């Protein structure tokens, strides 16, 4: 595959104000005039290292909670056991990226010319630095990722040779692993680079991988659903999302706007979710970013994690097939109860941490209200929003009866013509790279060690508590 590049004129949106999020000691390093993210990081890292060193020296022996046996058998829910600097998930408030809520990010992050939704480039800059970037800094990332987007020929050949019955996520994960041939981190480690330099090569690999993921994802999509047609050219003057949607074959401007929002809000959900934790765990063994993120994608492919957005559309499709067009509230209640009585869950509802409507659901709902208010599938999703929580509360098993991000994303994609449900988790995966790899860079910069928690047997626990 040859990737030809075109150059088009580009207009820049007005510069937005810089909002500091790091401690005062770091603010001076992320100025509006600097656009080289690596240089800014190089100045930030020693300050953050010293901050943590001082904090640990004073409070390293402090206790932060107790662990109950139920937590060990219950998926370690609620156990404070990890460091994640990029985002924090509050059960009542939802996700905050470096202190900013999703509505706040929508207000302050840079946008594309003429657009309203935040650029994922701006979100990545925020996750890495803790600072809201200027328009110029976000545009710098767009150009960097366009310049790094080409794939090595062996990965293209591998993707072209995969059978059509291989799930898109399996192809995605395999291609990411194969990109390990390009790893600066793995090469430098083999050559004996000093550990204080690990972050520099982690940064280069992360930037390369983020740049290449839309190319990989578009190649998979074209091979599976568009008869192997060409993904076309990377345009160095387009932003990351615009190049991605163009390679997929979608030229509708509002679909590109949706993708900017989608890739921003799916990027990070603190460190304990399956994909983020997996990337951190594998990375703690000093596996390079390609291998670490490939492992994360195998976790994301599970039906209790990223595959859930596919499950939602399957369930909604079955609902429409069984009940027909216009559906009464009573018919919906009966269908929901039949689902629950059949030993199944209502996909898209509930969350391991959240105890309110997912803000990621809310911002997608607002997008739909603005751009597709009369879409029948959106109306159905809105109707379910009124009914499902009440049924789940009546059932009495759900700690959180409210919708999560997966309850809405597929409906928006379907509206703009992206109807291949098996592919949706790949889109999620492209986005999740922003959070996973921002954390990976900082893990190497802070010298976080190999993760190795202590496990217990049931017999051992019985002895421990005197049972």
3-state secondary structure string across 180-192: HHHCHHHHHHHCC
For residues 95 and 434, the answer to whether their CB atoms sit within 8 Å is no
Q: How far is CA 456 from CA 285, 451, 453, 462, 464, in A?
A: 22, 16, 10, 10, 10
- How far is 430 from 263, CA to CA, in rounded Å? 7
- In the set 266, 277, 351, 408, the catalytic residue is 351
**Nearest alpha carbon to residue 169 among 350, 61, 309:** 309
- How far is 365 from 111, CA to CA, in rounded Å? 20
Tally of CA atoms within 13 A in the half-sphere of 132 that contains its CB = 18
Angle separating helix axes 424-445 and 198-225, nearest 10 degrees: 170
For residues 100 and 125, the answer to whether their CB atoms sit within 8 Å is no
Is 406 annotated as catalytic? yes
For 191, other C-beta atoms within 10 Å of its C-beta total 7
Give CB contacts under 8 A, 24+ apart, made by 189-192.
Answer: 189/286, 189/288
**Nearest alpha carbon to residue 425 among 312, 316, 260:** 312
Q: How many residues does the chain have?
A: 467
| Cβ contacts of 403 within 8 Å, gap of 6 or more | 348, 349, 357, 358, 361, 384, 385, 388, 389
**Nearest alpha carbon to residue 138 among 128, 150, 123, 127:** 123
**Nearest alpha carbon to residue 216 among 151, 143, 147, 170:** 151
**Nearest alpha carbon to residue 98 among 319, 268, 317, 351:** 268
For residues 429 and 172, the answer to whether their CB atoms sit within 8 Å is yes
- In the set 266, 277, 305, 408, the catalytic residue is 305
Is 371 annotated as catalytic? no
Active site residues: 305, 351, 406
């Amino acid at each position: 595959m040859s990737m030809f590049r075109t150059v088009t004129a580009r207009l820049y949106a007005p510069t937005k104000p810089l909002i500091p999020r790091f401690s005062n000691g770091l603010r001076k390093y992320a100025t509006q005039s600097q656009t080289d993210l690596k240089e800014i990081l190089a100045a930030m890292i020693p300050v953050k290292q010293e901050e943590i060193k001082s904090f640990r020296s004073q409070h390293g022996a402090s206790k932060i909670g107790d662990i109950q046996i139920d937590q060990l058998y219950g998926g370690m829910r609620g156990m404070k056991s990890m460091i994640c600097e990029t985002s924090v998930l509050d059960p009542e408030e939802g996700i905050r990226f470096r202190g900013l809520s999703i509505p706040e990010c929508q207000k302050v992050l840079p946008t594309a010319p003429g657009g309203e939704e935040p650029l994922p480039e701006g979100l990545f800059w925020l996750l890495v630095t803790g600072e809201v970037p200027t328009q110029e800094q976000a545009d710098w990332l767009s150009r960097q990722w366009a310049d790094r987007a080409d794939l090595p020929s062996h990965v293209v050949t591998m993707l072209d040779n995969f059978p059509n019955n291989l799930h898109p996520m399996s192809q995605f994960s395999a291609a990411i692993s194969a990109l390990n041939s390009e790893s600066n981190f793995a090469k430098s480690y083999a050559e004996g680079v000093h550990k204080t330099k690990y972050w520099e090569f982690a940064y280069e690999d992360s930037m390369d991988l983020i740049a290449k993921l839309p190319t990989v994802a578009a190649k998979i999509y074209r091979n599976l659903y568009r008869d192997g047609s060409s993904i076309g050219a990377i345009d160095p003057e387009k932003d990351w999302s615009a190049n991605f949607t163009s390679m997929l074959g979608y030229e509708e401007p509002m679909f590109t706007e949706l993708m900017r929002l989608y890739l921003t809000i799916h990027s990070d959900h603190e460190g304990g979710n399956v994909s983020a934790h997996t990337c951190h765990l594998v990375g703690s063994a000093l596996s390079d970013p390609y291998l670490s993120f490939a492992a994360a994608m195998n976790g994301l492919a599970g039906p209790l994690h990223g595959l859930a957005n596919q499950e939602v559309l399957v369930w909604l499709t079955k609902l429409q097939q069984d009940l027909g067009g216009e559906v009464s509230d009573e018919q919906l209640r009966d269908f929901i109860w039949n689902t629950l009585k059949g030993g199944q869950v209502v996909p898209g509802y509930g969350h391991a941490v959240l105890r309110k409507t997912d803000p990621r659901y809310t911002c997608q709902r607002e997008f739909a209200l603005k751009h597709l208010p009369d879409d029948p599938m959106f109306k159905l999703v809105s109707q379910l929003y009124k009914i499902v929580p009440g049924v789940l509360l009546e059932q009495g098993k759900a700690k959180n009866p409210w919708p999560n991000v997966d309850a809405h994303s597929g409906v928006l994609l379907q509206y703009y013509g992206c109807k291949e449900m098996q592919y949706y988790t790949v889109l999620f995966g492209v986005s999740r790279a922003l959070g996973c790899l921002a954390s990976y860079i900082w893990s190497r910069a802070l010298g976080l060690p190999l993760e190795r928690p202590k496990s217990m047997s049931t017999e051992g626990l019985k002895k421990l508590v005197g049972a």
